[in-house]
Amino acid sequence: MARELLAESEGAERSEPLRWLSKALLQLGQTQLALERAREALQLAPRDSELVTLEATALLVLGRKEEALACYDRALRYDRTNARGYAARALVRMDLAQLDGALADAEAALRLDPDYVEAHVLRGRVFAQRGALEGAVLAFDEALRRDPTHVNARFNRGHACMGLERFEEAERDLSEVIQRSPRFLPGYTTRGLVRDRRGNSRGALADYRAALALCPAGAPVEAQLKQLIQEHERRLGERR
């Protein structure tokens, strides 16, 4: 047993340069190389949960979600105290429409760290995907109680309120999102939809125009925004 522990310790030490290199390559966007270095490091330290998580992250960026999920499974077998590992697996499970598993992972993360804001947001997003919008709003409220400046929680809360037809709350949330992140395109498009539902065509038009100004040329949403702008201009009898 002592010999195995010594070998594991030596392997972890020898893997450090490769661990550092894999992280650096991920930050530089050289994902395939990052994956290769992480796997080389794992040959030296096969039970290192951080290295397995690095491998999973690289696979996820490469779009290999099923393989990434298997890696997160392995990482959590090695370290069941890693709240961020559960949250990362929850995200993959959401992408794969495994909502029961995603919810279980978000709640496991919160048992380990009740103040983990991202896990509260994940929990809310799972509820929203299930159509349980009241539960989603409550989860986003928990996130915002811990971090009132969290843009993603605020945006998702506004989106859920829109689905519940609580339009005044939705517009207030989305206005705060835009104030904090003025180049966040979905904030404008979603607030435009809310304002439209509230009968504020002029405000909706302003939001769609702002969104179009931020929209990359050729993006799928560009044509939809142009159509919405034309419809509202006709409705208001104006032209830019």
**Structure confidence at residue 147 (pLDDT):** 98
Span 229-236, mean pLDDT? 92
**Structure confidence at residue 10 (pLDDT):** 52
For 132-157, how does the pLDDT look when each residue is reduced to its tens digit (9 = 90+)? Answer: 999 999 999 999 999 999 999 999 99
The HSE-up count of residue 225 (CA atoms within 13 Å, CB side) is 23
- Average pLDDT over the chain reads 92
- Residue 236, pLDDT > 80, answer yes
Q: What are the Cα distances from residue 43, in Å, to 21, 69, 212, 237?
A: 15, 20, 49, 68
**Structure confidence at residue 67 (pLDDT):** 96
CATH 1.25.40.10 fits 15-80, yes or no: yes
Fold match, 15-80 / 82-181: yes
**Structure confidence at residue 238 (pLDDT):** 64
CATH number of the 82-181 domain: 1.25.40.10
Domain boundaries, the chain: 15-80, 82-181, 184-240
The radius of gyration of the chain's CA atoms, rounded to the nearest angstrom, is 22
- Residue 89, pLDDT > 60, answer yes
Span 100-129, mean pLDDT? 98
**Structure confidence at residue 91 (pLDDT):** 95
Residue 239: pLDDT band (50, 70, 90) is low
Q: Which two tokens stand for residue 158?
A: 């506004």
**Are 126 and 93 contacting, i.e. CB atoms less than 8 angstroms apart?**
no
Give the chain's end-to-end CA distance (angstroms, integer).
Answer: 76
Residue 197: pLDDT band (50, 70, 90) is very high
Question: Cα–Cα distance between 21 and 167 in angstroms, integer?
Answer: 48
**Structure confidence at residue 217 (pLDDT):** 87
* pTM confidence score: 0.86
Centre a 10 Å sphere on the Cβ of residue 221 and count the other Cβ atoms it contains: 15
For 164-193, how does the pLDDT look when each residue is reduced to its tens digit (9 = 90+)? Answer: 999 999 999 999 999 999 999 999 999 999
Q: Which two tokens stand for residue 146?
A: 């811990």
For 3-58, how does the pLDDT look when each residue is reduced to its tens digit (9 = 90+)? Answer: 443 344 455 678 899 999 999 999 999 999 999 999 999 999 988 989 999 999 99
